[in-house]
Amino acid sequence: MREYLLTLCITAAVTYLLTGPVRKFAIVAGAMPEIRARDVHREPTPRLGGIAMFFGLCAGLLVADHLTNLNEVFEKSNEPRALLSGAALIWLIGVLDDKFEIDALIKLGGQMIAAGVMVMQGLTILWLPIPGVGNFALTQWQGTLLTVAVVVITINAVNFVDGLDGLAAGMVCIAATAFFLYAYRIWYSYGIESAAPATLFSAILIGMCVGFLPHNMHPARIFMGDSGSMLIGLVLAAAAVSVTGQVDPDAMRLFAGSEKEAVHQTVPVYIPLLLPLTIIAVPTADFVLAIVRRTWRGQSPFAADRGHLHHRLLEIGHSHSRAVLIMYFWAALIAFGTLAYSVNSASMWIVLGVVVLSAVGLVLLLLPRFRPRAPRWAERFVPPRYRRRKVSAPVAESRAAAVEKPAAMAGATAAGGGGTKAAPAGAAPRTVNGATALGARSGRPDRRTAGTSR
């Protein structure tokens, strides 16, 4: 565990320290697109944050290669090199898109090529355990197609959810943490070395997200762009493919009692492939809904809009920070609920806990429509939005002036024949609805009548 934590910390430190210089480079390079209709930020913000994340990935792999226990992952498996090859390719495509905004079909082709490169180097799904049936061996073409599909879906799910400050990095960090705990349990509890690459990938992914988040929280100073969102999506997919396609349930039969029971114990990992990827179910659901919504409208599935889940949270009244936290909550509930179920699937307390937390999540979603007001004695202990509003005397005067101003201006216009005429010298000021004409023109009620104007 110490070596994994060291790798995680080195990755986070490199990512964090490089993000500042990368931001300056993005500004100089002109990677600051204009505000688009679907954007929620109000001023141009530099992209290319994926550059720092990629070098954090490289630093994490380099450190792990020189550690005593983690070095075995590089000696016995080619998966770290496969990950680095695919990550470099998808990162390069993302950098070009952040700068020049390449076509969506070109990006899709690049994603498929990156997935194919990883498959060629051994990072592929060899078999698919089916609950209640057992192991189902895949042919080479079946494994390749399934692996490419998982990688492409995961990349686009993460890319689609990257719409608010800190949203994508935080949600992927939550998913990677759950995946790390599960893979670590398989690796050290069952002694299955095939789970070691997935554990390493998850630890590095956590470091990438943790190092970038301080620069990306609202208000963000830099965006990860497609170079970052597609990169972390690929790393998460690589971890899922590694632990699913390489860990043989037959190796767990000794501890589970039979192959079918072993398959049942590993269901939380296979669910991500079957649904797919419930470990990031929220962005995956957003991805599917976006495809359906755009296709129904006759648009391209890759045509951007403001119909994502985080956009809808803003529309119903949530603030930027609260919308992000709500998405974090649901991602953590699904990810760690699945993890808890994998540890003890027979416990009813886990199911009850998930149900209760789901109810809490629904209340949080409806919070803008249900804002209870605290009693007078408890107002000092609650946030200002739950306190009863008090109208002060200056505010009341300004509101009265705003009501009187149109009537006063109308009377002045009628008296002056549609024009503005100066009052004769020495003449008393005209009174309109209890306010002087001078006070009406200036937008202020006359002091003598302000208290009775309403």
The model's pLDDT over 212-239, given as tens digits with 9 standing for 90+, comes to 999 988 788 898 989 999 999 999 999 8
Burial of residue 126 (CB within 10 Å: 0-12, 13-18, 19+) is: middle
- β-pairing verdict for 431-432 and 435-436: antiparallel
Structure tokens at 80: 């770290």
pLDDT tens for 76-108 read 889 999 999 999 999 999 999 988 888 888 999
Query: Per the domain annotation, does 404 fall within a domain?
Result: yes
399 in the same domain as 265: no
Look at residues 277, 296, 316 and tell me which one is the last residue of a structural domain: 277
Residue 259 lies in a domain: yes
Q: 435: part of which helix (H) or strand (E)?
A: strand 435-436
Token pair for 361? 């999540």
pLDDT value of position 164: 78
The average pLDDT across 274-295 equals 64
Whether 318 maps to a domain, the answer reads no
Query: Cα separation of 252 and 437, whole Å?
Result: 90
Note the pLDDT of residue 87.
95
Full residue range of the structural domain in which residue 445 is found: 395-416+431-452
Say if residue 428's pLDDT is above 50: no
> 448 or 193: whose pLDDT is higher?
193
In a domain, 314, yes or no: no
pTM of the predicted protein model: 0.71
Q: In total, how many domains does the chain have?
A: 2
Paired strand residues for 127: 137
Does residue 332 belong to any structural domain of this protein?
no
Kindly tell me if the per-residue pLDDT of 56 is higher than 70. yes
Residues 264 and 117 reside in one and the same domain: yes
Nearest to 110 by CA among 201, 238, 230: 230
Please identify which residue in the block is written with the tokens 């061996």: 137
Same domain, 44 and 185: yes
- Other C-beta atoms within 10 Å of 44: how many? 13
pLDDT for 52: 95
Lowest mean pLDDT among 26-35, 44-53, 54-63, 409-418: 409-418
Residue 40 has pLDDT above 70, yes or no: no
Look at residue 381 and tell me if it is in a domain: no
Q: How many CB atoms lie within 10 A of CB 438?
A: 14
Give a yes or no: residue 91 inside a domain.
yes
Residues 335-355 pLDDT 10s: 787 777 767 666 677 778 878
Confirm whether 146 is domain-assigned. Answer: yes
Using the CB atoms, write b or e for 254-274: b if 16+ within 10 Å.
Answer: eebeebbebbbbbbbbbbbbe
- Rounded to an integer, the average pLDDT of 113-140 is 81
Does one domain contain both 268 and 400? no
Give the residue from 277, 305, 339 where a domain finishes.
Answer: 277
